Amino acid sequence: MAQKIMVIGGGPGGYVAALRAASLGADVTVIEKENLGGTCLNWGCIPSKIMKNTADILYKCQRAKDFGIHVDGPVLPDMAALMTRKEKILESQRAGIAGLLKNRGVRVENGTGRVTGNGSVQVTAGDGSTKSLIWDKLIIATGTTPMNVADFAFDGKKILSSNDILMLGHIPESLTIVGGGVIGCEFACIFAALGTKVTVVEALSRPLPLPSVDTSISKLLLREMKKQKITVLCDTVVTACDTSGKGCTITLAKSPFTDNPKAKEPKTDTLSSDLMAVCIGRIPLSSNLGLETIGLDTPVPGWIPVNDRMETAVEHVYAIGDILGPARVMLAHVASHEGLVAAANAMGQDETMVYDAVPGAIFTMPEIGTVGVSEEEALQKGLDIDTASVNFRVLGKAHAIDEIAGEAKMIVEKNTGRVLGVHIIGPHATDLIAEATLAIAKGLTVKDIAHTIHAHPTLAEIMGEVSSKAVGMPVHA
C-alpha cells in the first residue's frame, strides 16, 4: 500500500513537496485553506513583481525622450487596470499549480487543517463542515502572516499590512512605510515610481539591515532611493499612529534597537501621511494546528525546529518553509528545496538540506542579488579575505539601456581564491546572481570565473569584470 503523505499548506514549499512525494509513489493530499501558491504567489513575490514591472515601464515611459521616443500627452498609471492584470496573472498561476497536482494524482482539500492525533487530521471547510483524514507521514508548510503591532494595529484602510498594499485600488499621494527591510524597500521603490511621496522609517542604521546584505549595497541603495525622492529615516521608530483625521498622524522617536552608537533624535517627532504600511516582520501560522496532540512543542512565538533532513522532534512529521523561522532562510525558493528534501526523506530516501549557497533576490530599483557571506560576516567569522568591487558604468550594455547605477562586490578567500560571497546592486541583479550562486555551490575560484568568457555586450560581463579585478587583472574597472 502506498505511503499516505499529508501536506498542510499549498505554498511553494507544500505543493513542491506534494509533487515530489507523488512522483516517488506516495498517496498525497494537500490541505490549503486559501489559494494554492501560498504567500509567495498570492500576497508576496508574484503580485509585488507585477506591480514593480508596471513601475519600471512607467518610469521609462516618463523618460521616453531620453530613448529617442516621442510621447504625445502624459503617461499615467492606472491602478484599477494594474489590479485587474495582477488578478488575471495570479489566477493563471494558481490554475497551473492545480493542474500540476492533478496530473500527479495529488488530492487537494480546501479548508483549514488541524492535527487531531498521530496519523489523523481534521479539515474544516469554509462552510463549517468537517472531514477526517489519515496520514502515515505529515509535512507542515503553513507559513507565516504579517506581524501586527498593538500600538498601531492594521485596519485595512489607513494602517496597512503588506497584504493590504497589494489590494489598493488607488495610488496614494503619500505613504509612510514602517520597516526598511526587503518588503518595505521594494514597496517604497514601487510607489515612488507610481508617483507617491514615500517615507521609510527604519529602526536600525541602514535600509536592508540584513546580515546577508553587504553594507556597501545598503549605502548605494540609500543613495538611489534619495534620487527617487524617497525619504529614509534610519535609527527611528514609530510609536503611535492617529487615524482620526483625514490621513495618518505618525509619532516618531529615536530607536531603542539601533546599532548606531551615534544615533540622533529624529528632526521631527511627527509626520503626516495618507496611509501607513507596516512591514516589520512576520509571525508563524502554527498556533491552531493541534501540534500539541502529537507532542510537538514550538518555542515562542511558534516556529517549528527541524534538523537538516527537515524532520521535527516527532517521528514521521516534517516541517518546511517560513514556519521554520529565522533560524533557517525564509525565502520561497528555499521552501521549495526544503519541500523536495522532506518529501524524499518521507519516502525513505536520505537527503539533507544545505544552505551554503542560497541566493537572495531583492526587487528594489535598482535590483539587488546576494549570495554567500557579506564582507562583515566574513570578518566576524575570522576569515582571511580579499574584496573587489566594480561599477556597472564600466559596461557598454548598462549605458545602452541607460541603467548605469550599481556595482558588483566579490568576497574571496585569500589563500585559496575561492569565491565566498557576491553582492550585486544594479540592472537585472536578481538574474545575474545565478552565476555567482553556482560558483559558490561548486567551490569555484575567482580565477575560474575570470577565465570564463562572458558574452559582449551583456550585463553578465559584470561577473567577468569583478573577478578579473579580484585576481589583479582589471580590464575596464
Q: Active-site residue numbers?
A: 456
Where do we find the cell 487543517? 113
Cα→Cα distances 207→186, 201, 213, 283, Å: 11, 9, 10, 21
Helix (H, G, I), strand (E, B) or coil at 476: coil
Q: Please name which of 390, 454, 386 lies closest in space to residue 421, comparing C-alpha atoms.
A: 386
Burial of 103 (0-12, 13-18, 19+ CB in 10 A): exposed
Burial of 132 (0-12, 13-18, 19+ CB in 10 A): exposed
Instruction: Report how far residue 222's alpha carbon sits from residue 327's, in angstroms, rounded to the nearest whole number.
Output: 28
Q: Are the C-beta atoms of 254 and 239 separated by less than 8 Å?
A: no
Query: Judging by DSSP bridges, how do beta strands 236-242 and 248-254 pair with one another?
Result: antiparallel
Q: Please name which of 314, 315, 319, 343 lies closest in space to residue 330, comparing C-alpha atoms.
A: 319
Neighbour count for residue 215 (Cβ, 10 Å) = 15
C-alpha cell at 442: 561548486
Burial of 442 (0-12, 13-18, 19+ CB in 10 A): exposed
Q: Are the C-beta atoms of 31 and 123 separated by less than 8 Å?
A: yes
Instruction: Report how far residue 145's alpha carbon sits from residue 369's, in angstroms, rounded to the nearest whole number.
Output: 25
Residue 105 is which amino acid?
G
